[in-house]
Chains A and B, each alone.
Chain A
Amino acid sequence: MATENNAIEELANREYKYGFVTAIESENAPRGLSEDTIRFISSKKGEPEWLLEWRLKALRHWRTMKEPRWPNIHHPPIDYQNIIYYAAPKQKKNPKSLAEVDPELLNTYKKLGISLGEQERLSGVAVDAVFDSVSVATTFKGKLNELGIIFCSFSDAVREHPDLVRQYLGSVVPAGDNFFAALNSAVFSDGSFCYIPKGVRCPMELSTYFRINAADTGQFERTLIVADEGAYVSYLEGCTAPMRDTNQLHAAVVELVALGNARIKYSTVQNWYPGDKEGKGGIYNFVTKRGKCAGANSHISWTQVETGSAITWKYPSCLLIGDNSIGEFYSVAVTNHFQQADTGTKMIHIGKNTRSTIVSKGISAGRGNNSYRGLVEVKKGAANARNFSQCDSLLLGDRCGAHTFPYIEVKNTTSKVEHEASTSKIGEDQIFYCKQRGLSTEDAVNMIVNGFCREVFRELPMEFAVEAQKLLGVSLEGSVG
């Protein structure tokens, strides 16, 4: 008994490893949200007129909308006028090489375990590092250029490939889609843009690394990935953030477009600051992610491991428009201490012979509250649609919550929709069995939880899978049922 408590205490006192601040000058927009704020952002980024108009339209639309109240989460009201919507670290424009990047910035990334230079040499993963609303360095541009692959910051894409951006921006998540998408469309800072040309298989995993630094800034990334016919790309998104007392809003939008026979694999390991043990502080992660399987035989997979954030609210979804298209969603969501999550997916079957797979694993510990919310919609014309959904919840402790809100709407009688759900606890007997074989309580819990998440971890690119397992161990901090 005594030893168990000691282990739990020790783990709980482990500090959030990424909690520190980079002392760097910031060029911020004044607090608040108005048309002037938009113009400020747009001019700072040197955007063309059409984009400014697009933003302003979104802002006007946002003003007519109300923040949704239906999710199973609770938070104090957000004062949208009390947020800084743009913060850029002062540095030289457009570094041609890492040598031109502010060394303080690079040092920040080293502390976080990412050294751009090393990445460039060893792993072969191209990294577009976003730091406080501005992309820092994009490695491997040259190599990708040879294949005709475009992978750059969103801001750069607007400058260098305006036609592509204009064609696809808002085509999957229109500005008026929802409250936070509208907000994002008005004030989005930066993000990634990626275009894979016809028939090209991107030879390396593309990755983006986020961080929020200055106090009270909201992060509003905008990411757009387009895979042309027959193309393939695997994209990794991983995030951390420093310790803050006031909540920070993160309302990103990610749009994926897969044309005929194309495939996009989008993986996320999310470790935003989750708030302290009393539930104070932490990131609000309100994200709209959607993929459009536009062409026949196209395929989009979402894989996410969400361990951070005070509140996670996102539904990476797929529009299965092309015939024979496939949508997949694999998720592990962890809520510990006072974290809340309302997350899931929407699979909209529109074309013929479409397939979707949903595997959601929710882990609740402490006083965490975890909800899965999913929609499987089979439209009238979606002949022969197939869906399989599996939602499993694992409760660690007796003060946490796990909820499931599955929505199934089927309008075509040739379709087949399957839904399985389970709720379980890690039993004392299981822990004792492991201990009697020589394993510590911590190892036993980690092992059992990882076993629980196996089907999802299997879908992650290998580097991420290892990070995900470690993250899970830290997030759960010895909680045992």
Chain B
Amino acid sequence: MSLLEIKNLHAGIKGNEILAGVNLTVNRGEIHAIMGPNGSGKSTLAGVIAGREAYEVTGGEVRYKGTDLLSMAPEERAREGLFLAFQYPVEIPGVTNTYFLKAALNAIRTHRGQEPLDAVEFLSLTREKMKLVDMDETLLNRPVNEGFSGGEKKRNEIFQMAVLEPTLAILDETDSGLDIDALRIVAEGVNKLRSKENAVVVVTHYQRLLNYIVPDFVHVLVDGRIVKSGGKELAYTLEEKGYDWVKEPQAALPAGA
């Protein structure tokens, strides 16, 4: 059984259709990259999978571990091991990173029938995971993302991923706003978390990130549909020829072909 199966997904916002029939299958152990020009629907796809209420699903289905994902509440999806690394992580004043993450982890653990961790256990867990993303311990006691630089916010997303150990992680333009060094650290973190049981979907504009997080499959999203899929070389071709190269053959095809 595939981990994630998207069939003919149509979705939009306020009556405007953004996803026009997306098809995608992700199996455990795989890394998929989704690339595409601005406005192609990349973030919408990530948002719909995560369960963002602003988006309306108008057709198609999404199966996660064999179950209908779209009928699950966002927190349910998260507890089943779905993780979204946000493009613009929000700030939560007054709530420390530690408090937030411990509450989240324990909610997930309880759902899985595991004992929640106490403060001491949680602290040793975080110390271990912090090394994965070269995270500064002092950031833990600060309110979630408050006053964090762009790079720190993205690293915090991957740090949370390391602690929550999701089965399917969707990285929504995790590379945007990062310098070369931060990019490398974030990518290394993601790579270290890979296993045969989990999978990652990397949503990105540029090929650069894919030098570090090497995908098994690359898909190109244009006007709300995946128009081309291939191996990691596809990313290089896109970088070389631009997105128009992918769009052209579509325009050239006669209707109904």
Q: Please report A residues at the B interface, Cβ cutoff 8 Å.
A: 1, 3-4, 424, 427-430, 432-441, 443, 447-448, 450-454
Instruction: Name 26 interchain pairs, CB-CB below 8 A, sorted by A.
Output: A1-B53, A4-B73, A424-B93, A428-B53, A433-B92, A435-B75, A436-B50, A436-B74, A436-B75, A436-B84, A436-B86, A437-B78, A437-B100, A437-B104, A437-B160, A438-B75, A438-B104, A438-B107, A438-B108, A438-B164, A440-B75, A448-B92, A450-B94, A451-B92, A452-B94, A454-B94
**Interface status of B79 (Cβ within 8 A of chain A):** yes
In the bound complex, how far is the Cα of B71 from the Cα of A461, in angstroms?
45
Closest chain A CB from B111 CB (angstroms): 7
Q: Chain A residues with Cβ under 8 A from B90's Cβ? A: 427, 429-430, 433
Closest chain B CB from A330 CB (angstroms): 15
Please judge, given known A-B contacts A432-B52, A432-B74, A437-B78, whether A443 and B107 are in contact too, CB under 8 Å.
yes
Contact B95–A438 (Cβ < 8 Å): no
Closest chain B CB from A332 CB (angstroms): 12
Q: Chain A residues with Cβ under 8 A from B105's Cβ? A: 438
Please judge, given known A-B contacts A437-B100, A437-B104, A438-B164, whether A451 and B78 are in contact too, CB under 8 Å.
no
Q: Chain B residues with Cβ under 8 A from A434's Cβ? A: 92, 100, 104
Please judge, given known A-B contacts A447-B103, A452-B93, whether A439 and B86 are in contact too, CB under 8 Å.
no
Contact A3–B73 (Cβ < 8 Å): yes
Total cross-chain contacts (CB, 8 A)? 78
Known A432-B52, A433-B92, A448-B94; 7 more pairs at CB < 8 Å: A435-B51, A435-B78, A436-B51, A437-B164, A438-B75, A438-B164, A447-B95
Q: Chain A residues with Cβ under 8 A from B59's Cβ? A: none
Q: Chain B residues with Cβ under 8 A from A439's Cβ? A: 75, 103-104, 107
Contact B94–A430 (Cβ < 8 Å): no
Closest chain B CB from A347 CB (angstroms): 25
Main secondary structure of the interface of A (DSSP, over half): helix
In the bound complex, how far is the Cα of B93 from the Cα of A427, in angstroms?
12
**Interface status of B143 (Cβ within 8 A of chain A):** yes
Q: Chain A residues with Cβ under 8 A from B52's Cβ? A: 432
Closest chain B CB from A179 CB (angstroms): 38
**Interface status of B217 (Cβ within 8 A of chain A):** no
Closest chain A CB from B74 CB (angstroms): 4
> Which 8 A-B pairs rank lowest in CB-CB distance, beginning with the nearest?
A451-B94, A437-B104, A451-B95, A438-B78, A438-B107, A435-B74, A3-B73, A435-B75
Q: Chain B residues with Cβ under 8 A from A428's Cβ? A: 53
In the bound complex, how far is the Cα of B102 from the Cα of A348, in angstroms?
43
Most buried by A among B77, B95, B160: B95
In the bound complex, how far is the Cα of B51 from the Cα of A432, in angstroms?
9
**Interface status of B243 (Cβ within 8 A of chain A):** no
Q: In chain B, residues 61-85, which have Cβ atoms closer than 8 Å to a Cβ of chain A?
A: 73-75, 77-79, 83-84
Most buried by A among B51, B79, B94, B104: B94
In the bound complex, how far is the Cα of B79 from the Cα of A450, in angstroms?
23
Q: Chain B residues with Cβ under 8 A from A441's Cβ? A: 75
Closest chain A CB from B140 CB (angstroms): 15
In the bound complex, how far is the Cα of B99 from the Cα of A4, in angstroms?
23
User: Which single residue of chain B is at the shortest CB-CB distance from A2?
Assistant: B73
Q: Chain A residues with Cβ under 8 A from B51's Cβ? A: 435-436
User: Which single residue of chain A is at the shortest CB-CB distance from B72?
Assistant: A3
Closest chain B CB from A316 CB (angstroms): 24
**Interface status of B39 (Cβ within 8 A of chain A):** no
User: Which single residue of chain A is at the shortest CB-CB distance from B74?
Assistant: A435
User: Which single residue of chain A is at the shortest CB-CB distance from B71?
Assistant: A2
Closest chain B CB from A335 CB (angstroms): 20
In the bound complex, how far is the Cα of B110 from the Cα of A439, in angstroms?
11
In the bound complex, how far is the Cα of B164 from the Cα of A443, in angstroms?
18
Query: Among A433, A435, A438, A447, which residue has its beta carbon within 8 angstroms of that of B99?
Result: A447
**Interface status of B230 (Cβ within 8 A of chain A):** no
In the bound complex, how far is the Cα of B53 from the Cα of A1, in angstroms?
7
**Interface status of B231 (Cβ within 8 A of chain A):** no
Q: Chain B residues with Cβ under 8 A from A440's Cβ? A: 75, 107
Q: In chain B, residues 100-123, which have Cβ atoms closer than 8 Å to a Cβ of chain A?
A: 100-101, 103-105, 107-108, 111
Most buried by B among A429, A436, A448, A452: A436
Q: Chain A residues with Cβ under 8 A from B99's Cβ? A: 447, 451
Query: Among A1, A433, A438, which residue has its beta carbon within 8 angstroms of that of B89?
Result: A433
Closest chain A CB from B216 CB (angstroms): 25
Closest chain B CB from A377 CB (angstroms): 30
Please judge, given known A-B contacts A435-B74, A437-B160, A438-B164, whether A451 and B143 are in contact too, CB under 8 Å.
yes
Contact B74–A448 (Cβ < 8 Å): no
Q: Chain B residues with Cβ under 8 A from A3's Cβ? A: 73
In the bound complex, how far is the Cα of B107 from the Cα of A447, in angstroms?
13
Q: Chain B residues with Cβ under 8 A from A452's Cβ? A: 93-94
In the bound complex, how far is the Cα of B143 from the Cα of A243, in angstroms?
39
Q: Chain A residues with Cβ under 8 A from B86's Cβ? A: 433, 436
User: Which single residue of chain A is at the shortest CB-CB distance from B93?
Assistant: A451
Closest chain A CB from B105 CB (angstroms): 8
Please judge, given known A-B contacts A448-B92, A451-B94, A452-B94, whether A432 and B103 are in contact too, CB under 8 Å.
no
User: Which single residue of chain A is at the shortest CB-CB distance from B170?
Assistant: A436
In the bound complex, how far is the Cα of B53 from the Cα of A441, in angstroms?
13
Contact A448–B95 (Cβ < 8 Å): yes
In the bound complex, how far is the Cα of B144 from the Cα of A434, in angstroms?
11
In the bound complex, how far is the Cα of B92 from the Cα of A454, in angstroms?
13
User: Which single residue of chain B is at the shortest CB-CB distance from A7?
Assistant: B73
Q: Chain B residues with Cβ under 8 A from A432's Cβ? A: 52-53, 74
In the bound complex, how far is the Cα of B160 from the Cα of A1, in angstroms?
26
